[in-house]
Amino acid sequence: MTRRARPATDADGYLLDPDDWDETFALETAAALGVTMTEEHWDVVRFMRAEREEHGVSPDARHVMRHLAETRGAPRNRLFELFPYGYPGQACRIAGMKRPRVWSTG
């Protein structure tokens, strides 16, 4: 059995090429960050991936918060309950986004 090569990341674990992302990368990164992936976490990650695919850029936090509110009736702070150590530091790394330069936190 051959072992899958881990995609290239920078020193902080952000993918160098977001197209290298897969769910195995997400699970491994989440585990390393202390995040247990639930369906709600996957919803966020899949939304982020779809937004990047459609628009060519990573969505900022306010778009993800709006998605959670519209699809799950979640309160505004739910994103930060799911990823308590930050949207860029946890959600973006798990979703395979490139290192953010500047982010809106909502």
CATH number, domain of 58, equals 1.10.10.370
What's the domain range around 43?
A: 18-94
What is the domain count for the chain? 1
pLDDT digits (tens, 9 = 90+) for 78-102: 999 999 999 999 999 999 998 877 6
11 belongs to a structural domain = no
Are 45 and 91 contacting, i.e. CB atoms less than 8 angstroms apart? yes
100 belongs to a structural domain = no
pLDDT digits (tens, 9 = 90+) for 30-43: 999 999 999 999 99
104 belongs to a structural domain = no
Q: State percent of the chain over pLDDT 70.
A: 92
pTM for the model: 0.89
- Give the pair of three-digit tokens for residue 9: 């990341």
pLDDT higher than 50, residue 105: no
13 belongs to a structural domain = no
- Give the pair of three-digit tokens for residue 62: 């306010």
Question: Residue 3 — very low, low, confident or very high, per pLDDT cuts 50/70/90?
Answer: low
Query: Mean pLDDT across the stretch 56-61?
Result: 91
